Amino acid sequence: MGLKIDRVSHRYPQQEDFVLKDVSITLEDSQIVGLLGTSGSGKSTLGQIAAGLLRPVQGKVLYNNEPFQALPAREKKRKRIQMIFQHPEVSFNPRISLDKSMEEVYKLCGKAYNTEARREMAGQFGIYPEQLKRVPAQLSGGELQRLAIARALLPEPDILILDEPTSMLDVISQAQVMRMLLALQKKRKLSYLFITHDVALCRYVSDKIYTIEEGVIVEDKQLNPAVV
C-alpha cells in the first residue's frame, strides 16, 4: 500500500545529465517520510514525479501497487496525492481571487461546493475571509504557502508531497504550521513526503529519512521514535 517510486531516473528535455539516477523510495500508509538533500540534489524533481506531475524518463510510480495513471477517473479527479510547491505563487492563478481558487478545487474534484469548510480550513492556517477576497500578489509568501496547504487538504488526499512547506515562514509560524500538519496527519491518517534541507526538523517529524545527493539516494534511515 502507499506510494512506491521504483527505480526512477529522470533527465529534463534538452539536458544531457540525469538529475535522478535509479531512485527508489517507499511511503507507507500514515507515514511521514523525510527527503533530505542540498540545493539542486533533485528533491523537487522527485516530489513532482511522486505527485504524478512529471513523468520520469525511466522507472515507475505505484500508488497502492498500481500505476497512478491506471486509477479510475473519479479517484484521479479526487487527486489522492496532492503537492505543496516550494514556491507557493505557482499554485494559484494570479488573476483570480483566492476565494475563487479555493472554489475551483471543489469543481475539479467533483465535491459539493462548501463555503464553510473552505473558510474553516483557511482559518485553521491563519488566513481570514477578508484575505480570501484578494488576488495572490496581495498576500505575503508565507500566507500563500499556508493557504496552499489548506487548499491541498480540501480534496481529502491520502498523500501530501510537501516541498519545503515552511521555508517562507518565520520560526514561530513555522512551528505553528508544523504542529498543524502533524495534528492533521494523525487525525486523517495521511502520509507525507516531507522535502527539506533542514536536518533537525526532518529528524523531528519523520518516521524514515532518505538522503539524496546529486540525484542518488545515499542513505535510507529508519528512525526509532524513542531516540528522536
Taking residue 11's Cβ as centre, other Cβ atoms within 10 Å add up to 17
Applying CB under 5 A, the span of 6-14, 83-91, 176-184, 185-193 interacting with Mg ion comes to 83-91
Annotate each residue in 15-54 with x if it binds Mg ion (CB under 5 A) or - if it does not, as one string. ----------------------------xx----------
Phi, psi of 215 (to 5 degrees): 80, 5
Q: Minimum CB separation from ligand ATP for residue 219, in Å? A: 15
Residue 5 burial (C-beta neighbours within 10 Å; 0-12, 13-18, 19+): buried
Closer by beta carbon to ligand ATP, 49 or else 154:
49
Residues that bind ligand ATP (CB under 6 A): 12, 15, 19, 37, 39-45, 86, 197
What's the grid cell of residue 88?
507557493
- Contacted entry of Mg ion, ligand ATP, none for residue 15, CB cut-off 5 to 8 Å set by kind: ligand ATP
Q: Which amino acid is at 210?
A: Y
Q: Minimum CB separation from Mg ion for residue 163, in Å? A: 6
Give me the long-range contacts of 38-42 (CB less than 8 A, separation at least 24).
Answer: 38/197, 38/213, 39/197, 41/212, 41/213, 41/214, 41/215, 42/10, 42/212, 42/214, 42/215
- Contacted entry of ligand ATP, Mg ion, none for residue 34, CB cut-off 5 to 8 Å set by kind: none
Closer by beta carbon to Mg ion, 44 or else 101:
44
Closer by beta carbon to ligand ATP, 20 or else 98:
20
Closer by beta carbon to Mg ion, 19 or else 132:
19
Task: Give the nearest residue (CB) to Mg ion.
Answer: 44
Helix segments in the chain, DSSP class H: 43-50, 73-77, 98-108, 115-124, 129-132, 141-153, 171-188, 199-205
Q: Minimum CB separation from ligand ATP for residue 101, in Å? A: 24
Q: Minimum CB separation from Mg ion for residue 221, in Å? A: 21
Q: Which of 83, 93, 8, 88 is CA-nearest to residue 48?
A: 83
Contacting positions for Mg ion (CB under 5 A): 43-44, 86
